[in-house]
Structure 1
Amino acid sequence: MPSAAAAAQPPVLELHENATFTTPEIRWLDATPSPTNEPWAPLPAAIKPAPATPLGLSVWQRKGREALAATEAASDDGIVRAVTAAAERLLVHMGEVTDAGIAVLSRCSSVKQLELRWAVAGTVPPSRVSGEAIVALANCPLATLHFDCCVAIDLTEAIVAIAERTRTLRHLTVHECNVDAEAAMEALSHCVTLRTLEWHTHATDVAVWELAHGGGSGTSPLECVRLHTYQPSGATDDALLAIASACANLVTLDAAGLARGGARESGVLALAGQIDGVRGCPRLRHLEVGSTHASPLTERVVAALCDGALPQLEYLGLAGCSHVSAAAVERLAARRPALVIGVGSERGVERGSREGEARPCSPAAEDRTRLLWALSADAPSAKRLKGAPAGKGRGAGFLEGKGGLFESDGRDESYDSEGQVPACAA
């Protein structure tokens, strides 16, 4: 019996290359989890695909445990009718899907959530979809768009076109893709409906400045930003100054992936409104400023929070901040008992902190399991932690109470256990 949340999900069409069949397919899948807890239950191997169209597409419908071929989908118009009638979410796995196939899908007026995955050079067969073809998807009334590992095609033109032409886009994720960040973010700054941006690929300080200021309104509409640029030449702490000066509506910011070791004092103080001439982000509730390396962040930031900066803050991530002592963290916890403080991950806190003692450690001292230490975590704080920061560890267990640990199961964090976009993007 599916959960109430699962039952409320819209039907999903998945377009991908399945090793069981000789052609890609579009599937309609209900929200019932598979026995292996995979997001989408596989079709029975005994079911044979419908005749492939010239576009290399065939359509499947799945309701409960029954799977039937959609025989009307032998034509382009049949595919459009099937998709339009069935789904709001569309997942496209690059395989033998062609530009012509994407053009057909761009005519599907019902698709509101689109995810394109795995356009990677060297795959067999190689991706046959171009960035120019994806531009046509701007015709769909997209609210959520997710690009994942599309490195074999240049997505710049597509993202710019979608930002300029789509009047419904609210959530965008770009993960490990080939894109000109400055051109894309400048276009996205004019997208007045955009509320959530997850940028997990290369970006520069100039690109983030364009995102925050390019729209010219003085205040960006963005409410949730995850900025993981990774590369040494990527965005630095200077990007936080751009965000602090123009993103007053921001509620969630994950800046754990900045270059040069993560956030510095000046950037975080700017977010907190502690720098003259910078208004900051007074609505912030979730802030992650840790790093994959030893962070240069100092205790001056903790002192500002003790004095009441960012009064709406519910979660603060300090993983890897080795210059912030356990005593400073404990003072902050005492001054702001409702604040959930994450001081641990594979890069931040030894397991000995389970007893309540925060001890900075080197990355080598931890395994890959992500830990969040909840200081003074009452039941409401525990519930908040399950959705913070920005979807980390959703679906895993949480040990409630003071000093409790919240442990991720290591799955893809782009979606929660029921396939929904994370809380900050809802």
Structure 2
Amino acid sequence: MRIYKVGGAVRDRLLGIPVTDIDWVVVGATTEEMLAKGFRPVGADFPVFLHPKSGEEYALARTERKSGRGYGGFTFHASPEVTLEEDLIRRDLTINAMAEDDQQNLTDPYHGQRDLEARLLRHVSPAFAEDPLRVLRVARFAARYAALGFTVAPQTLELMRQLSESGELEALTPERSWKEISRALMEDQPQVFIEVLRACGALKVLMPEVDALFGVPQPPAHHPEIDTGAHTLSVLQQAALHKQPLTVRWACLLHDLGKGLTPEEEWPRHIAHEFKGLKLIKAVNERFKTPRDCQELAMLVGEYHTHGHRALELKPSTLLELLQSFDVYRRPQRFEEFIAACEMDARGREGLEQRSYPQADYLRGAATAARSIAVQPLLEKGFKGPELGEAIKRERLKALKAYKEQV
């Protein structure tokens, strides 16, 4: 039995960046031997075990063979005869196909270290094209390591293009797709993820609604960058720069989908794009079965982001309707995330990244004013049922009028 550290732990150590997860591969062992040493089995499809003390994953060296469509369409074979090189060749990228023993002696049969130095994301073997999930994974790695100068090797991008055109991407489950998308959006340069998907034709398969934004012009007076797709990528980049959570980043990606539906004869204006985009945002949410908090914020930002930009001009009654839509009384955090998404949208414009966004504090102040209305005094006056609701609304409107006047 020989044990090697593999994959990301080796890659990141060589890059000199913090190692977070460690994966191990065990060569020359059987399931029975692993169990005898106290390892706990967890793998459903192939033998993976948890270390009895550290809890880290140890997998028996294995080979795989394509047997069906999609990410799950593989037959695995694990046995003591499988070599380390045979295990490594089934991995996605050369930089993930290195191993080291307990003395840090490197096993690198597919030149991963060379590609690390060349800053290239390159596939290990033609078998790369058998797994559609790898299109998303490579795009995610491109986003993760973009700051270090990594790019996708042309031959690998071509294989990703072939996968995108093959129909295999449609075989991915929503859960697997969302796992990769959500992780990619939380990288430091998530816009690179979208750029790579677009470069290989995967974006128009997975998110045609986002792909449709490229080449659609906006009024240059408000959007110096003009192109709606370029603007969306800039908004996403700003969200990452400002360390926004996943909910905000997802909303930033989808906020302008309605502009992709504007007839060319109406360009560069996009009248009512907020409402037109809601059915598209809903469709994307359903396609990937996104978590409810991401779904809700994306829909609300899509519908109301222009309200956010015009906050200082809104009538008190419109402002109250906005606050009610977000249920700021019970869910203040969601409104805070809406404000963040609006600010990222405003900053995601060429040359305007550093411009202040006074609407943010104004909206926070409005929410505070509306929340300051106490219910108890109204109950003591005898209001109840629908009448109580109307009385609360009147008092909140009064508070917002006073707030607007003082600001």
TM-score range, shorter chain: 0.3 to 0.5
Looking at CA atoms only, which structure, 1 or 2, has the larger radius of gyration? 2
More helix by share: 2
Structure whose residues are more often strand by fraction? 1
* TM-score of the aligned structures, taking structure 1 as reference length: 0.33
The answer to which structure, 1 or 2, has the higher relative contact order (CA under 8 A, 6+ apart) is 2
Instruction: Tell me the TM-score normalized by structure 2.
Output: 0.34
